[in-house]
């Protein structure tokens, strides 16, 4: 599978990192990261705060320069963002009074880069309607988006990301501060989208459990190290103990993964966001 | 008491007066369009305070021009562009921006007062910069104002959609490859120009009534991305033109009329908007299927 023939386009990696290294001063977040994400693949990026999950996303978006190595998107070096990317940010409620209805926000995902007035063509409207339909948001398509609940706004975000028909869906903690029902709904929508369109998914999260059944591979970042593999290969006591450099126990029970004994600041997966420190300082 | 009211509202020889100021009314209408359009973005980008800061430096520029015998409009534009670009470049985050504005604003106002104190000419000119003077603007200046307004309107229409995207949803817009930072600077330049123009109408102290209030009112009653700027423009034009026409007879500055009309429109929109929120009439379709 190393030599690429023209016929093998479908399996050409969407995203490719080679020798990617990111360091701030003498603190190395990750070094020598080699990773190909193929169409339709669901990659979860896991690990505690301060290990460079967000920096990885920023590097893919061209907002963070690598210390060394390369990242390419669809065979070309990454630029400052791309229309091949659908981006689903952390839930961040829109300001009250924002002059957009749900369907207007979705339309920006299709044609927001074009000059001129925000007129929507029939063709764009059809794509917007289809995206809203697929996330189950048709009923509130015309509601001011800022008045929607957090879960509803996040559905609209997913619709916005998929309406642009991206080759790569970048998800930055999209389930944060959602209730369990919406966590499941949103992750299933993302999963369904990659199955339907073959878009690759890079999903940054501190809690793998809501997406455990969907993930093909895991990129686990901790302690300046990384591991790539299937969830079964990576989410094991030996692997994480090596990464954290201290005995860590991974318990899998009833389809959930819990990490116990990670040092302060690495914490248990579910409750990391409340820790301020990185836990990486000497 | 009669004197008081006839000073505020006087309509003797109204037809002739109207003919005299028809250029001002025309300019006022165009400025209303500028204010209404740009106000939409002032609101979504949370720049109301920035408008105030820009207008004070614009006032300093205009008073410097007055003192040194230069073109007042040119001075005003120079001051507001300087402030707008400073705020745009240094203040990308709201918190930083507010502190930069709070530093620039009193400095600009102080400079302006200094220049005016040194100025030996007509005192009406001085007062006009703070509270508006369109009726006394001469024809060449009027054409400059109209030309600047046209530039602002065309510029806004050209970048409208990407600017909306960058304003309400910067992270996603950036991820999709939009030049969010550049759009922000371009917008600040347009805002600087618009502020300089608005100062000629309502004065530095009351610019917000043209660049913020109409859009804020429109956003109370609609969330449509087309209806919002349209209503905002209508509100701003009604305020300016209505203000000029009411002010004609009385011999008072036009700004209190403009600001009062725009304030009343806002109050009405707020009432309408809150009634709509209470009744839950926000466009949501009734639930007809149960979610599984």
Q: How confident is the model at residue A267 (pLDDT cuts 50, 70, 90)?
A: very low
Over the stretch B220-276, which tens digit does the pLDDT of each residue have? 999 999 999 999 999 999 999 999 888 887 777 788 899 999 999 999 999 999 888
- Positive or negative CA dihedral for A254, A266, A86, A156? positive
Smallest Cβ distance to A81: which of B43, B161, B176?
B176
pLDDT at A266 over 60: no
Q: With respect to residue B208, please indicate whether it lies within any of the assigned structural domains.
A: yes
Q: With respect to residue B152, please indicate whether it lies within any of the assigned structural domains.
A: yes
Range of the domain at B47: 2-277
Burial of B145 (0-12, 13-18, 19+ CB in 10 A): buried
Q: Which residue of B has its CA nearest to A59?
A: B175
Over the stretch B178-203, which tens digit does the pLDDT of each residue have? 999 999 999 999 999 999 998 887 88
pLDDT at B85 over 50: yes
Over the stretch A199-216, which tens digit does the pLDDT of each residue have? 999 999 988 999 999 999
Rg of chain A taking only CA atoms, in angstroms: 19
pLDDT at A67 over 60: yes
Count of Cβ atoms closer than 10 Å to residue A31 Cβ: 16
Q: Go through A178-212 and write b for each residue having 16 or more CB atoms within 10 A of its CB, e for each that does not.
A: beeebbebbbebbbebbeeeebbbbbbbbbbbbbb
Q: For chain A, what is the HEC assignment?
A: CCCCCHHHHHHCCCEEEEEEEEEECCEEEEEEEEEEECCCCEEEEECCCCCCHHHHHHHHCCCCCCCEEEEEECCEECCCCCCCEEEECCCCCCCCCCCCEHHHHHHHHHHCCCCCCCCCCHHHHHHHHHHHHHCCCHHHCCCEHHHCCHHHHHHHHHHHHHHCCCCEEEEECCCCCCCHHHHHHHHHHHHHHHHHHCCEEEEECCCCHHHCCCCCEEEEEECCEEEEECHHHHCCHHHHHHHHCCCCEEEEECCEEEEECCCCCCCCHHHHHHCCCCCCCC
B54/A contact by beta carbon, under 8 A: no
The CATH code of the domain at A26-84+167-282 is 3.40.50.300
Q: What is the CATH number of the domain that holds B69?
A: 1.10.3470.10
pLDDT on residue B135:
58
Q: Which of residues 154-193 of B touch A (CB under 8 A)?
A: 157-162, 164-165, 168-169, 171-179
Beta carbons within 8 Å of A175's beta carbon, 6+ residues apart: A182, A183, A186, A187, A205, A207, A210
- Using a pLDDT cut of 90, give the percent of chain A over it: 61
* Ramachandran category for residue A19: left, alpha or beta (phi over 0 → left; psi -120 to 50 → alpha): left
Smallest Cβ distance to B178: which of A104, A112, A164?
A112
Q: What is the mean pLDDT of residues B64-92?
A: 90
Q: For B171-219, what is the HEC assignment?
A: HHHHHCCCCHHHHHHHHHHHHHHHHHHHHHHHCHHHCHHHHCHHHHHHH
A112/B contact by beta carbon, under 8 A: yes
pLDDT at B149 over 90: yes
Q: Do B225 and A63 count as a contact with CB atoms less than 8 A apart?
A: no
The domain tally of chain B equals 1
pLDDT on residue A279:
37
A82/B contact by beta carbon, under 8 A: yes
Q: With respect to residue B121, please indicate whether it lies within any of the assigned structural domains.
A: yes
Per the model's pLDDT, the better-predicted residue between B23 and A73 turns out to be A73
Cα separation values, A84 from A43, A62, A159, A268, B131, Å = 17, 13, 15, 34, 51
Rounded to whole angstroms, the Cα distance separating A192 from A189 reads 5
Per the model's pLDDT, the better-predicted residue between B121 and A120 turns out to be A120
Q: With respect to residue B285, please indicate whether it lies within any of the assigned structural domains.
A: no
Per the model's pLDDT, the better-predicted residue between A201 and A277 turns out to be A201
What average pLDDT is seen over chain B? 87
- B191–chain A nearest CA distance, Å: 18
Q: With respect to residue B284, please indicate whether it lies within any of the assigned structural domains.
A: no
Count of Cβ atoms closer than 10 Å to residue A217 Cβ: 18
Q: With respect to residue B93, please indicate whether it lies within any of the assigned structural domains.
A: yes
Q: What is the mean pLDDT of residues B138-153?
A: 88
Q: Do A100 and B168 count as a contact with CB atoms less than 8 A apart?
A: yes
Q: With respect to residue B291, please indicate whether it lies within any of the assigned structural domains.
A: no
Angle between helix B213-221 and B255-279 (nearest 10): 20
Beta carbons within 8 Å of A148's beta carbon, 6+ residues apart: A102, A140, A156
pLDDT at A269 over 60: no
Which residues on B lie below 8 Å from A111 (Cβ)? 161
Cβ distance B200 to B132 under 8 Å? Answer: yes
Q: Do A114 and B162 count as a contact with CB atoms less than 8 A apart?
A: yes
Q: Rounded to two decimals, what is the model's pTM?
A: 0.88
> Domain boundaries in chain A?
26-84+167-282, 91-165
Cβ distance A164 to A127 under 8 Å? Answer: no
Q: And the tokens for B220?
A: 């109370």
Measured in degrees and rounded to the nearest 5, phi and psi for residue A165 equal 50, 60
pLDDT on residue B51:
94
| Residues B24, B25, B26: CA angle, nearest 5 degrees | 90
Cα separation values, B93 from B51, B139, B184, Å = 16, 41, 12
pLDDT on residue A264:
56
Rg of chain B taking only CA atoms, in angstroms: 20
Over the stretch A151-176, which tens digit does the pLDDT of each residue have? 999 999 999 999 999 999 999 999 98
Rounded to whole angstroms, the Cα distance separating B71 from B48 reads 27
Give 3-state DSSP helix, strand, coil % of chain B, rounded to 5: 80, 0, 20
Ranked by mean pLDDT, the top range of A8-22, A247-261, B32-46 is: B32-46
Q: What is the side-by-side strand order in the sheet with A217-222?
A: A85-88, A168-172, A200-204, A42-46, A217-222, A225-229
Q: How confident is the model at residue A72 (pLDDT cuts 50, 70, 90)?
A: very high
Q: Do B168 and A83 count as a contact with CB atoms less than 8 A apart?
A: no
Q: Which of residues 149-178 of A touch B (CB under 8 A)?
A: 157, 160-161, 164, 170
Rounded to whole angstroms, the Cα distance separating A248 from A225 reads 15
Rounded to whole angstroms, the Cα distance separating A98 from A126 reads 23
pLDDT on residue A51:
86
């Amino acid at each position: 599978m190393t030599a690429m023939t023209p016929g093998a386009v479908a399996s050409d990696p969407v995203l490719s990192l080679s020798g990617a290294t990111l360091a701030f001063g003498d603190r190395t977040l990750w070094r020598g990261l080699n990773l190909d994400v193929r169409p339709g693949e669901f990659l979860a990026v896991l690990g505690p705060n301060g290990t460079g999950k967000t920096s990885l996303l920023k590097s893919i978006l061209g907002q963070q320069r690598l210390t060394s190595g390369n990242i390419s998107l669809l065979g070309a070096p990454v630029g400052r963002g791309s229309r091949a990317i659908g981006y689903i940010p952390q839930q961040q409620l829109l300001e009250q009074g924002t002059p957009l209805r749900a369907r207007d926000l979705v339309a920006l995902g299709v044609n927001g880069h074009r000059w001129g007035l925000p007129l929507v063509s029939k063709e764009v409207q059809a794509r917007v309607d289809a995206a809203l339909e697929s996330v189950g948001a048709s009923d509130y398509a015309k509601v001011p988006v800022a008045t929607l609940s957090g879960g509803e706004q996040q559905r609209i975000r997913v619709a916005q990301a998929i309406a642009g028909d991206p080759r790569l869906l970048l998800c930055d903690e999209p389930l944060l501060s959602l209730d369990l029902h919406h966590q499941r709904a949103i992750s299933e929508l993302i999963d369904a989208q990659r199955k339907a369109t073959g878009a690759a998914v890079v999903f940054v999260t501190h809690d793998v459990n809501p997406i455990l059944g969907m993930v093909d591979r895991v990129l686990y970042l901790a302690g300046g190290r990384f591991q790539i593999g299937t969830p079964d290969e990576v989410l094991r006591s030996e692997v994480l103990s090596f990464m954290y450099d201290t005995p860590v126990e991974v318990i899998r029970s009833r389809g959930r993964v819990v990490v116990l004994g990670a040092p302060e600041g690495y914490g248990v997966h579910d409750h990391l966001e409340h820790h301020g420190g990185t836990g990486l300082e000497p | 008491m009669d004197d008081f009211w006839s000073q505020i509202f006087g309509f003797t020889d109204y037809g002739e007066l109207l003919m005299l100021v028809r250029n001002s009314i025309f300019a006022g209408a165009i400025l209303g369009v500028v204010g209404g359009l740009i106000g939409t973005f002032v609101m979504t980008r949370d720049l109301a305070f920035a408008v105030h800061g820009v207008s004070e430096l614009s006032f300093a520029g205009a008073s410097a021009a007055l003192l040194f015998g230069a073109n007042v409009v040119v001075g005003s534009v120079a001051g507001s562009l300087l402030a707008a670009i400073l705020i745009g470049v240094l203040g990308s985050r709201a918190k930083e921006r507010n502190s930069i504005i709070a530093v620039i604003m009193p400095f600009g106002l102080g400079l302006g007062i200094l220049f005016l104190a040194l100025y030996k000419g007509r005192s009406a000119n001085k007062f006009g910069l703070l509270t508006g003077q369109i009726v006394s603007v001469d024809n060449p200046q009027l054409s400059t104002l109209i030309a600047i307004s046209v530039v602002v309107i065309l510029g806004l229409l050209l970048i409208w959609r990407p600017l909306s995207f960058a304003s309400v949803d910067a992270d996603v817009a950036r991820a999709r490859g939009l030049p969010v930072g550049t759009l922000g600077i371009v917008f600040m330049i347009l805002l600087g120009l618009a502020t300089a123009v608005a100062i000629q109408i309502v004065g530095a102290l009351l610019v917000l009534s043209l660049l913020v209030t109409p859009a804020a009112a429109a956003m109370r009653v609609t969330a449509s991305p087309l209806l919002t700027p349209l209503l905002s423009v209508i509100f701003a034009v009604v305020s300016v033109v209505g203000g000029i026409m009411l002010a004609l007879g009385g011999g008072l500055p036009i700004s209190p009329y403009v600001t009062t009309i725009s304030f009343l429109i806002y109050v009405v929109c707020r009432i309408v908007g809150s009634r709509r929120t209470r009744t839950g009439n926000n466009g949501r379709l009734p639930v007809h299927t149960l979610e599984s």
